[in-house]
Amino acid sequence: MADVLLIDTNTTPFNEAFPVYPIGLDYLQGALAAEGLGPGHILDLTRAGGPLASRDLSARGARSLALIKKTLASQSWDVVGLSLRNIDSTYPTLEGQAELHHYLPQLAAYLDCVQENAAPQTHVVLGGTGFSMMPGAFLQGRPDTWHGLVGPAESAFPQMVRTIVEEGEAPRLSRQEGGGGLGRLQNRELLARYLELPIGDGTFGLRTKVGCGQACGYCPYPLINGPGQRFKDPAEVVEELKLLASVHGERPTPAPLRFMFADDIFNRPLDHAKAVVAAMKSEGIIPYSWHAYLDPAQIDREFLELVKDTNGWCRHEHPDGSGGRAMFFPFDMESGSDRMLARLGKPYDRAKLLASLEEFRGAAADWLRGGELDHVAFGFHLLLGYPGEDEASVGETCDLINRARPHQVAVQLGVRVYPDTPLARRTKGELWREEKDLYQPTFVPVDDNAVLGWLRKHLDADYDRLSRKGNMLLISRED
């Protein structure tokens, strides 16, 4: 047995508006129990601290620090684990205070509080996606009793806890090697706390695998999770969903159940995604809605039918307020230019995108004709401004939009540079010199006015609705 405290530090402005279930700590808590190390205690600062608007960030920080201090003083802890999930926003749409889109200072305050108030014999283990992107930003200058785990830790964390308890020491920085088990949802009390939130206010996620199987030039996830993929049995995923549905059914007046598959890319490989959704359908798990991050080229008719039958991307009324069952399906393609797709490191080209779009359009037409859905729409997500972007590539992307006719197009202008990625290596000496330079949000420069001019020039005239917030554009047309 070990006395382990797990702290969720995800008190970002986005998480205040749309609280994200701390899946990682739920998984780690279950992994500790499975290894006979005790259940572990979770301090979820988001829910424990109570809801606060972004304008009250100073109050949120003070309340969170008080909770950390109080919990550390409540007993003697062998290990304190902190989940550091977000370091900044790749979509800096918020204006004003820097802390609205850059979270390192707040996270550093939480770590300082732990360092000042933890008992001398307590070991501290840092992990999570944000930590794994730049461990040096968090470990530098910390005591020898502080350690870090890069990547998934369902096997590595219990092993480190056991080493600390039995030997009194552990490596400074390590990652989970080889296979290792994949976590599963198990904390009914914590799930219930998030299910009490109104629909639209919270997001549940669960994983069907680790690893995305891609190697995009700007993305740190292949460095975090490794180049390969490890899969859950679809039956295990269904058991997690049954637990979620069971807890949801116990609520007195539950909001409709919805969730996301929090894989880096859910449908790569496609066969595994189809097996998971088919298992859901077979077991009668039909939520209000579900969604996931998708590879836009890994889509076929069978997958689309399974998505429709299980309420994937489902909206239960049309955005115009009319009733009926609707679907809004995303294509996160990022570019319509073969040259830029290759530069981005995407494992598909324009022809494959067009094939997926035709599959979707054909399915949508059949669903509408057969009365299975009342409204169907789709959108694009684009990333413009990667090195090499010019009018020709933007023009090719606009040509794809004009041919495919998406209802909405979300455009991110500029790309965040993360340490150790191919993009970081390409821009070293131009945008940054030392890794610490990338701890601050660093974006590839983009001439916004030029890109906006190219979009206006090459898009069809009926794409005349454009709004902008920060580095995000939303372009739409009249139906």
Q: Which residue has the higher pLDDT, 90 or 111?
A: 111
**CATH code for residues 204-310:** 3.30.750.210
Q: Average the pLDDT over 43-58 and give the result.
A: 69
* Residue ranges of the chain assigned to CATH 3.30.750.200: 313-415+447-479
What confidence score (pLDDT) does residue 176 get?
77
Q: How far apart are the C-alpha atoms of 463 and 426, rounded to whole Å? A: 34
Please state which of the ranges 157-166, 176-185, 229-238 shows the lowest mean pLDDT: 176-185
pTM: 0.93
What confidence score (pLDDT) does residue 319 get?
58
**CATH code for residues 4-175:** 3.40.50.2300
Taking 90 as the threshold, does the pLDDT of residue 100 lie above it? no
pLDDT in tens, 142-154: 999 999 999 999 9
Q: Average the pLDDT over 45-66 and give the result.
A: 72
CB 60 within 8 A of CB 207: no
Taking 70 as the threshold, does the pLDDT of residue 409 lie above it? yes
Can you tell me whether residue 140 is helix, strand or coil? coil
Q: Which residue has the higher pLDDT, 62 or 52?
A: 62
Q: Average the pLDDT over 60-85 and give the result.
A: 93
**Residues whose CB is less than 8 angstroms from the CB of residue 447 and which lie 6 or more positions away in sequence, other chains included:** none
Tokens 């502080």 appear where? 146
Phi, psi of 457 (to 5 degrees): -70, -40
Q: In the structure, what pLDDT confidence band is assigned to residue 14 with cuts at 50, 70 and 90?
A: low
What confidence score (pLDDT) does residue 453 get?
96
Q: Average the pLDDT over 279-295 and give the result.
A: 95
What confidence score (pLDDT) does residue 203 get?
74
What confidence score (pLDDT) does residue 177 get?
72
Q: In the structure, what pLDDT confidence band is assigned to residue 75 with cuts at 50, 70 and 90?
A: very high
* Residue ranges of the chain assigned to CATH 3.40.50.2300: 4-175
The DSSP code sequence of 244-301 is HHHHHHTSSSPPPPEEEE--SSTTSSHHHHHHHHHHHHHTT---SEEEE---TTS--H
Taking 60 as the threshold, does the pLDDT of residue 200 lie above it? no
What confidence score (pLDDT) does residue 99 get?
59
What confidence score (pLDDT) does residue 370 get?
97
What confidence score (pLDDT) does residue 146 get?
98
pLDDT in tens, 426-465: 999 999 999 999 999 899 999 999 999 999 999 999 999 9
**DSSP H or E stretch at residue 222:** helix 221-225
Taking 80 as the threshold, does the pLDDT of residue 311 lie above it? yes
What confidence score (pLDDT) does residue 88 get?
84
Q: How far apart are the C-alpha atoms of 49 and 61, rounded to whole Å? A: 9
Helix axes 301-309, 270-282, angle to 10 degrees: 30
Burial (CB count <10 Å: 0-12, 13-18, 19+), residue 124: buried
37-43-47 Cα angle (round to 5):
145
CB 216 within 8 A of CB 345: yes
Secondary-structure breakdown of the chain: helix, strand, coil percentages, each rounded to the nearest 5: 40, 20, 40
pLDDT in tens, 244-256: 999 998 877 667 8
What confidence score (pLDDT) does residue 56 get?
63
**Residues whose CB is less than 8 angstroms from the CB of residue 87 and which lie 6 or more positions away in sequence, other chains included:** 102, 103, 104, 107, 130, 133, 134, 137, 439
Which is nearest to 435 in space by CA: 135, 84, 172?
135
Taking 90 as the threshold, does the pLDDT of residue 294 lie above it? yes
Largest Cα–Cα distance in the chain?
A: 69
What confidence score (pLDDT) does residue 119 get?
96
CATH fold of 313-415+447-479 reads Transcription Regulator spoIIAA (3.30.750)
Q: Which residue has the higher pLDDT, 11 or 244?
A: 244
Token duo for residue 15: 């998480």
